[in-house]
Every structure is written in C-alpha cells, then in structure tokens.
Structure 1
Amino acid sequence: MEHGPRGGDEVNLIQKGANYGWPIISYGKEYWAPLAVGEGTHKKGMLQAIKYYVPSIAPSSLIMYKGSVYKELKGKLLVGALKLTHINILSLDDKNNVIKEMRILEHLKQRVRNIVESPNGLIYFSTDSGKILLLKPKY
C-alpha cells in the first residue's frame, strides 16, 4: 500500500524485482499546484497498482482476511481510510485483479488508523480518537 500525493494512493501486490514506478509514474498531483507528479500514469517496465484512489482515501493499514469468523471477507483486502473515514473492502479474482470495492462504517465518521485480525479470526480496528473497536460479523 502506498500513500500517494494528493490522490494516487495505491494498493500493490509486491513481486520480487518489480518496479512500481514511484516517482516516475503516479496518479497523484503536487500539493503546491495542480500539476501531475512524475511523467504520467503508465510507463513500459513499470507495474500498475491493483487499485488506485483518486481522490485519496489516505490509507492507513491493510490486511488480507484469512479467518473464518467473517466468511464473506475471506481472502479480501481491508484498507483503513484516514481521509474518507471508512474501511475499504477489496474483492480480488484468481489473478489478483480488484473486481469489487465496498466501503463500510462511513457513518462512524472516524479516521481508521489500524486494522488487525486476532488469532481467533476477529477483526479489530483503531481510530484516531483512541477507540479500539470490534467489527461485528455482518457489520
């Protein structure tokens, strides 16, 4: 996961020896002007992210859920969002392409700082306000 400049946050699946392009390619803009960061969004020899966010969600943490408590989340990526105050759930196909995105808990209006899976498969997350919360099954 990469926290990009003013947009362009990315989720990358790490591969040995791969080049993800920073700072040559990006979907982000400079903070001081509406200018693109880098040379563009694509370049030969540089991998694309499996997901990028424009506008930025300001990602804070990422887990792939492996437990059995939340059957509907097994194998999905959960991304905490600081700016847009939610948990972002990404569903992947068998080639690790993002095929679905869902946002949950926006109504809390809390910056999600960290997400963890406990040894017994429960999902806990913390917020900037100091709360540690349990994601109830069927949230």
Structure 2
Amino acid sequence: MEYDLTELIKTALSMRKRSYTPYSHFNVGAALISKDGRIFTGCNIENAAFTPTNCAERTAFFKAVSEGVKDFEAIVIAGGAEDAKELDYCPPCGVCRQVMSEFCEDDFKIILAKSETEYVICSLADSLPDRFGPKNLLG
C-alpha cells in the first residue's frame, strides 16, 4: 500500500493539539494507516488516577478496531512537551508495542517524527523482538 508519509506525519503532529495532559503536559499524537488506506488518529488522554490514562497509539488502534479494521500498514508517532519548540523522537511505550503486536505483522512500520522532514522508521520486529502475540496462543 502506498501512502503519503508527509500527510501522515502532519496528521500525527496536529493530533498533539487534541491531547488531554493536565498532569504531564507531554502531548502525543498518532496517525495509524490501515492496509486499505484508512487513517485513524489518536492523542494521549490522561486521568488523575494515572492507570486509566491512554496513549495516543492505543487510542488510534482502539478507534480502528472499534470500526472493524484489524489490518495495519504503519503508524506515525509525534510527541513532546506541550510548549516544546522542537520535538525529539517519541517511541511507543511497552504497552503500546504489545497492542501493536496483537494486530500487526513483523514488518509493520513505526515512524517516529520530530517534524515533517525529520523522522526515523523501524519495524515492529525491531521495536519488539521476541514478542508475545496471537501466534503464541493460536499456533
């Protein structure tokens, strides 16, 4: 599947503005593209009890799955302090990597973006080697 990486990065960067982060002030946006070309967005949403907090990546995945989509191509993640003039790379947490492992193949692309022109791409296999997933339970 061909996709416009610049547009995907712009979408993730814009989703940072929708973050609800009154405690950490660390805003993360995500843009997830399915194999059929649909884009699902997410932002991080904090909670005073912390445990119910949801990351941008999982928000995007849960939105997609709730719409019946379970085949994915790539995700762009952009994050940093809400008042940051420049962003650094913001890799997904372990829980988000585990959610990716549930729905994505080893070659799923994880794109960490500082800006529209500065980004790195890695695969899920590189990001979560020896992962535990459906194949472990379903054979």
Shared topology, TM-score over 0.5? no
TM-score normalised by structure 2 residue count: 0.30
More strand by share: 1
Rg comparison, structure with higher value: 1
TM-score normalised by structure 1 residue count: 0.30
